[in-house]
Structure 1
């Protein structure tokens, strides 16, 4: 009995060490793959981005109930990892003003799905900005360029961005990983304002994803305003 009791903590430690090693190994593999990809792109004369990105979209038919989940409705459009690849993709995408309501455009880093429940998003939240439809396309493009070009502060904490096209207005949101890091959240807000050159009349709201899950809404009951 005494031998058994002595072995249990050793086993637990082994399990913990194994989990830590597995996590570290996965990160090392991802970093190595990213480095190898960038090396290949440089050799080909391309200009690699810091991150690989994926464009997604969601289209729902108003007034029609569907049995498919929100996740099933998210469709992958295209992925890119170089400056040249981005422009090839972006130049062929329909402009927001030409898309029907309601439609969502998503731009997220590779490996992160545009879902609240994704492991990269579940502890995070998003900054929300509402725009008149006549100007939303310009602000969306400015945000996309800042995101792809890794120009925003706390960029490693950013997961992606969404443009929600609605009937009376369009809603732009920037998703981050850690909603509890107030300093990072506020620094991201200031960086977005600066890069988009937002007029003082525009208000930004922040909402953690767990609050969205509780009230089943993306944009009601925001927690921070700035």
Structure 2
């Protein structure tokens, strides 16, 4: 397990000014159980110090085996215990948790809004299903995000190909099963291209003036 922090039991231990350089996962040690893919954990939190999303994103750890994952996970504050506007991102190694990443830009995400008190259990169920390859969609899964907010919490599962309806449907159905969601649970699928459009700054075209007239 490649962990930059000796102890992460409280998310405030993360120094937002520290270097966020990604470091690859080590190979599984003797007797360890390798995962099908290596993964990385990132943390982000809205802060007056952060002017962009990229600046708020902090690399936490990377791992290649079941044992390395539990070593990192056991030192992390559970989502239900985090404060403020905070996120955990668990993505396959080499994929940054950003819409613009090459692995993500043609994909999308399933979004589930949770009542307060459910985030920790649902997050653990989701990431264990992802690490255990329960979604059965090949390399389509890119990563998962849990977002802690003031009114509710949000789970999102990202995949590579938004246009593949059969795959997105299978991911949705597996999500319902591994999270034990009621049949009437509202789930939203959003493409990353739509997210980029919504987040883009609005540009107003300059007003056309009659010849010779100066702007006020």
TM-score range, shorter chain: 0.7 to 0.9
| Matched position secondary structure for 1:140 | helix
Q: Of 40, 45, 50, which residue of structure 2 is paired with 1:54?
A: 40
Name 1:41's counterpart in structure 2.
Answer: 28
| Matched position secondary structure for 1:156 | coil
Bigger Rg over Cα: 1
**Deviation, structure 1 residue 98:** 1.6
| Matched position secondary structure for 1:180 | coil
Query: What 5-or-longer segments of structure 2 have no aligned partner?
Result: 1-24, 201-216
Q: Which runs of 4+ in 1 moved over 4 A?
A: none
In 2, Cα distance between equivalents of 1:182 and 1:201? 21
In 2, Cα distance between equivalents of 1:183 and 1:150? 17
**Deviation, structure 1 residue 195:** 1.4
In 2, Cα distance between equivalents of 1:94 and 1:84? 18
The 5 A counterparts of 1:146-185 are 146-185=129-168
In 1, Cα distance between equivalents of 2:184 and 2:197? 30
* 1:179/1:132 CA distance change after superposition, 3 Å: same
The answer as to whether partners of 2:108 and 2:189 remain within 8 angstroms in 1 is yes
Q: Which has the higher mean CA deviation after the structures are superposed, 114-123 or 142-151? A: 142-151
* 1:67/1:102 CA distance change after superposition, 3 Å: closer
**Deviation, structure 1 residue 201:** 3.1
Q: Name the TM-score, length of structure 2 as normaliser.
A: 0.77
Higher helix share: 1
Q: Check if 1:142 corresponds to 2:128.
A: no
The 5 A counterparts of 1:24-103 are 41=28, 44-61=30-47, 64=48, 66=49, 68-103=51-86
Name 1:129's counterpart in structure 2.
Answer: 112
In 1, Cα distance between equivalents of 2:28 and 2:97? 27
Q: Name the TM-score, length of structure 1 as normaliser.
A: 0.74
Query: What 5-or-longer segments of structure 1 have no aligned partner?
Result: 1-33, 218-226
CA offsets per residue over residues 53-93 of structure 1, 9 Å max, x none? 111011113xx4x5632112100011111011011111111
Name 1:17's counterpart in structure 2.
Answer: none
In 1, Cα distance between equivalents of 2:50 and 2:60? 22
CA offsets per residue over residues 98-119 of structure 1, 9 Å max, x none? 2112001100000000000000
In 2, Cα distance between equivalents of 1:92 and 1:151? 25
Q: Check if 1:210 corresponds to 2:193.
A: yes
| Matched position secondary structure for 1:185 | helix
Name 2:176's counterpart in structure 1.
Answer: 193
Q: Which has the higher mean CA deviation after the structures are superposed, 117-126 or 208-217? A: 208-217
